[in-house]
Amino acid sequence: MTFPKNFVWGAATSAYQIEGAAGDDGRGPSIWDEFCRRPGAVLQRASGAIACDHYHLYLQDIALMQGLGLQSYRFSISWSRVLPCGMGAVNEDGLDFYDRLTDGLLAAGITPYATLYHWDYPLALHRFGGWLHRESSDWFARYAEVIVDRLSDRVRHWFTFNEPQIFVGFGYQDGSHAPGEKLELSKVLTIGHNVLLAHGKAVQVIRSRSKIMPSIGYALSVSPVAVPATETDQDIQSARQTFFAASRPLSRNNSWWTDPVVLGRYPEDGLAFFEKDLPPMGKDDLRTICQPLDLLGLNVYFGETYRAGADGTPEVVPCAPEHERTSFNWPVVPESLYWASRFYWERYGLPIIISENGMAAHDTVSPDGCVHDGQRIDFLRRYLTQLQRACSEGVDMRGYFVWSLLDNFEWAEGYTQQFGIVHIDYASQQRTLKDSALWYKEVIAANGAVV
């Protein structure tokens, strides 16, 4: 069995994780440049200052993608490379990079999928109040205008935000990511609301200014996916209820971040749960936030099992100590891909694209010059089999992006977690296709038939 006829196979990255060139051609600093300088913030005091030097080596990387037969490539744009202060003067040199990247991809027959925001907020704007500022959504809309005006004659596919749960939850609530703040809940919820407004305004900008008909998505972090212990109605309902419970931590919350965007309302249980800390909301805010979308992106990595307890309420089934895990210590749960897709499709009815999926490992180049990442092949094979199941049961599934094309800067973990299907030797910037890349090439060529 293969995947749908127009199913798209790709790989994903993000600007701060691969570009490097942090001080080149007028790029302004982002909150991640600053966070990486804080002692203890990032493992081994690593930073994305050089990373994979993709800013200079992008043509080589496009050639690698072409060699693998990738049909699409999902990248993000560095806001402060284009607008060094976050607003005001455009840095033409920075914008030119995304022009060249787009042209290079198209010349190689690879469809660009551009993400406007993957966590690298301009430092200048942060100092000016950042996402807490009541005008922050307008700053984002203005940034979106600059990008759309330049790229939308060639870029059709857009994502507004990548994983709002994570950059808000980790960045402003528990402080483990940039900008490293631990704010009171009411402020975190205000930031979240402003991010949702920014999403809505950016969608309006893309729709009204695109030179070719756009396709617009919003990419969510949905792990841990609540997976039912058995396929009885009771266990499935326990998993579904847990997956969409608004009482989940904000960094793991699905309904709080998706209902306003797709359904035009915050979930009732969330309004009750957060009652004392709700942000001020303008009367038209939800109308602005809820703009027509073409698809939802799901970033899926792992799951947690739930069953109906004796009184019918959901209860977690503990993960066995010997359960297989990745080097990040995330449990390998292939069914998470199926259940996340099915639950999202049922609740929101929008087409789905898997905007990230993959695993971290400690990969090394063997004496034979190859990188034998058999665990990753096994992981991807099992997850893709679950994706096939979702397709065969009628989920409108548009494509799959492996995370990640390249080993890269894994945020607070520095370079200790390798997600790439291409190995990077950071000292020499040598790229080596891992076995998983060669396997993925066959999967793409056969539209998944070899899974």
Q: Which residues are catalytic?
A: 163, 356
Q: How far apart are CA 99 and CA 148, in angstroms?
A: 11
Nearest distance from residue 15's CB to ligand IFM, in Å? 10
Q: Are 266 and 276 in contact (CB under 8 A)?
A: no
CA 442 remoteness from chain centre: 25
- Which position has the token pair 């500022």? 133
Nearer to ligand IFM, 94 or 164 (CB): 164
Nearer to ligand IFM, 18 or 308 (CB): 18
Nearest distance from residue 445's CB to ligand IFM, in Å? 26
Q: Which amino acid is at 245?
A: A
Q: Is the peptide bond before 179 cis (omega within 30 degrees of 0)?
A: yes
Nearer to ligand IFM, 19 or 163 (CB): 163
Nearest distance from residue 249's CB to ligand IFM, in Å? 16
Nearest distance from residue 260's CB to ligand IFM, in Å? 21
Under the rule (CB under 6 A), what is the footprint of ligand IFM?
Answer: 14, 17, 163, 299, 356, 403, 410, 419
Nearer to ligand IFM, 335 or 410 (CB): 410
Nearest distance from residue 34's CB to ligand IFM, in Å? 18
* Number of other CB atoms surrounding residue 269 within 10 Å: 15
Nearest distance from residue 48's CB to ligand IFM, in Å? 11
Nearest distance from residue 356's CB to ligand IFM, in Å? 5
SS3 string of the chain? Answer: CCCCCCCEEEEECCHHHHCCCCCCCCCCCEHHHHHHCCCCCCHHHCCCCCCCCHHHHHHHHHHHHHHHCCCEEEEECCHHHHCCCCCCCCCHHHHHHHHHHHHHHHHCCCEEEEEEECCCCEHHHHHCCHHHCCCHHHHHHHHHHHHHHHHCCCCCEEEEEECHHHHHHHHHHCCCCCCCCCCCHHHHHHHHHHHHHHHHHHHHHHHHHCCCCCEEEEEEECCCEEEECCCCHHHHHHHHHHHCCCCCCHHHCCHHHHHHHHHCCCCHHHHHHCHHHCCCCCCCHHHHHCCCCCEEEEECCCEEEEEECCCCCEEEECCCCCCCECCCCCECCCHHHHHHHHHHHHHHCCCEEEEEECCCECCCCCCCCCECCHHHHHHHHHHHHHHHHHHHCCCCEEEEEEECCECCCCHHHCCCCECCCEEEECCCCEEEEEHHHHHHHHHHHCCCCCC
Nearest distance from residue 403's CB to ligand IFM, in Å? 6
Nearer to ligand IFM, 205 or 405 (CB): 405
CA atoms within 13 A on the CB side of 266: 20
